[in-house]
């Protein structure tokens, strides 16, 4: 999916400043209350308007790198229909891919620190903008742009006018009846934690072979705990990526008791597949802000780790009221919400705790493609 990283000489101060200006221009344009989000921050990266916008701001070297290096989107397979379709990359994600290289240029520490500062500032800027009461005027354009009218009927609050802010709308909660879990009578079945684009690998080694290519990924770094990571040696992994237009809450993939929740500080790199698949860059899952929940699964008593990972322009990660260590959660129960931006939920199982479904494994390893999934759909089952 990718080639060699750019020569570090391309990562100039002028190139960084131009990329920074381009991102700030987009987030400022997003403050316009009545504009279609696909006219600025969610504009398709492959369009002529995006090309002209970037050409005005970026020096020739970085611009050619962006044009030549990346596909301008990703293919996904709809599990319900089996159809493969192309999803265009938003222009802000395209800029995020370029910033990933500045963050990876370890020999240029100034670039690294400036990248982290820029991503934090712009994420906080969008969070503040979308928490303001007047941000609710963004809601109708967002619904129309992403054709969410029908899906609003699935929400606990279906009336867009009743959300006090854009972020309240963005983190809207769905009716439990709209996402029934697969095989509810079988406690050995596991479920998708989100409405998402999902990849699944029977072993973590296969995940790093076919999908997670950034340098530095380990389960210990992901969980922030070397001892805990040993319990998942040889285990399985499910990666659920949420696009901005998706229902933006995550749910329990298994039933059990919450043993621990640990927040890990980090940055806000894009979690687009091309960032995950990119050799020679930082591993964004272990660099980004995240929260690790450990569930003691019933009836097996095995540990299951559920990691909520923030991403580019994500404001915050918040658990539902009452979701804390010591409480029991049900498979399919809503656990928390991401506020504005894309994000990811990762589920890690110990060896032998789940046999992931064959179609998901095939799509992920052979097709190198994400699968469109919904909350509660089956992802696998513990072998008898």
State the catalytic residue, choosing from 98, 151, 195, 248: 195
3-state SS class at 303: strand
> Residue 35 catalytic?
no
In the numeric block, the tokens 């701001």 are attached to: 57
The answer to whether the CB of 264 falls within 8 A of the CB of 310 is no
Q: How many CA atoms, within 13 angstroms, populate the side-chain half-sphere of residue 90?
A: 23
Q: Which residues are 344's β-sheet partners?
A: 241, 309
- Rama region for 304: left / alpha / beta (φ>0; ψ in -120 to 50; rest): beta
Phi/psi at 312 (nearest 5 deg)? -55, 125
Number of alpha helices (DSSP H) and beta strands (DSSP E) in the chain: 13, 16
Residue 214 C-alpha from the chain's centroid: 15
Angstrom CA distances, 35 to 31, 51, 104, 137, 154, stand at 9, 20, 34, 10, 26
- DSSP annotation of 172: P
Pairing of strands 334-338, 355-356: unpaired
The DSSP secondary structure of 24-76, one letter per residue, reads HHHHHHTT-TTS-GGGTTT-BTTSHHHHHHHHHHS-HHHHHHHHHH--SEEEE
* Residue 131 annotated to the active site: no
d(CA 238, CA 343): 14
8 Å CB contact between 241 and 271: yes
Cβ neighbors of 368 (< 8 A, separation 6 or more) are 1, 210, 211, 277
Rounded to whole angstroms, the Cα distance separating 216 from 218 reads 6
The 8-class DSSP code of residue 174 comes to B
Residue 363 CB burial class (10 angstroms; 0-12, 13-18, ≥19): buried
Catalytic-labelled residue, pool 20, 50, 251, 291:
251
Is 343 among the residues known to form the active site? yes
Determine which one of 20, 104, 123, 343 is catalytic. Answer: 343
Known catalytic residues are: 195, 251, 343
């Amino acid at each position: 999916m990718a080639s060699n990283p750019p020569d570090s000489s391309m990562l100039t101060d002028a190139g960084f400043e131009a990329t920074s200006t381009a991102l700030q221009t987009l987030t400022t344009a997003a403050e316009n209350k009545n504009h279609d989000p696909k006219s600025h921050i969610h504009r398709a990266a492959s369009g002529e308007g995006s090309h002209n916008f970037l050409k005005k701001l970026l020096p020739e070297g970085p611009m050619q790198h962006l044009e030549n290096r990346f596909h301008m989107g990703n293919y996904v397979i709809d599990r319900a229909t089996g159809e493969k379709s192309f999803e265009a990359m938003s222009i802000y994600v395209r800029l995020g891919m370029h910033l990933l290289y500045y963050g990876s240029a370890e020999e240029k520490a100034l670039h690294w620190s400036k990248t982290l500062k820029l991503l934090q500032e712009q994420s906080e800027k969008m969070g503040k903008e979308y928490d303001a009461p007047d941000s609710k005027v963004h809601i109708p354009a967002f619904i129309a742009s992403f054709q969410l009218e029908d899906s609003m009927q699935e929400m606990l609050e279906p009336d867009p006018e009743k959300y006090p802010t854009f972020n309240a709308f963005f983190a809207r909660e769905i009716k439990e009846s709209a996402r029934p879990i697969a095989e509810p009578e079988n406690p050995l079945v596991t479920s998708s934690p989100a409405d998402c684009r999902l990849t699944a690998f029977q072993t973590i080694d296969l995940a790093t072979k076919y999908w997670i290519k950034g340098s530095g990924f380990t389960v210990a770094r992901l969980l922030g705990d070397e001892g805990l990571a040993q319990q998942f040696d040889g285990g399985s992994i499910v990666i659920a990526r949420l696009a901005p237009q998706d229902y933006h809450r995550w749910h329990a993939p298994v039933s059990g008791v919450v043993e621990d929740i640990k927040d890990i500080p980090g940055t806000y790199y894009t979690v687009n597949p091309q960032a995950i698949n990119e050799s020679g860059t930082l591993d964004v899952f272990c660099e980004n802000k995240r929260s690790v929940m450990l569930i003691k699964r019933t009836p097996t008593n095995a540990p299951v780790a559920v990691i909520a990972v923030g991403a580019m322009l994500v404001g915050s990660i918040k658990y539902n009221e009452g979701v804390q260590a010591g409480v029991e959660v049900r498979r399919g129960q809503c656990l928390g919400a991401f506020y504005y931006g894309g994000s990811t939920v990762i589920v890690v199982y110990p060896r032998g705790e789940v046999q992931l479904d064959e179609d998901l494994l095939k799509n992920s390893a052979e097709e190198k493609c994400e699968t469109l999934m919904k909350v509660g759909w089956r992802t696998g089952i513990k072998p008898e």
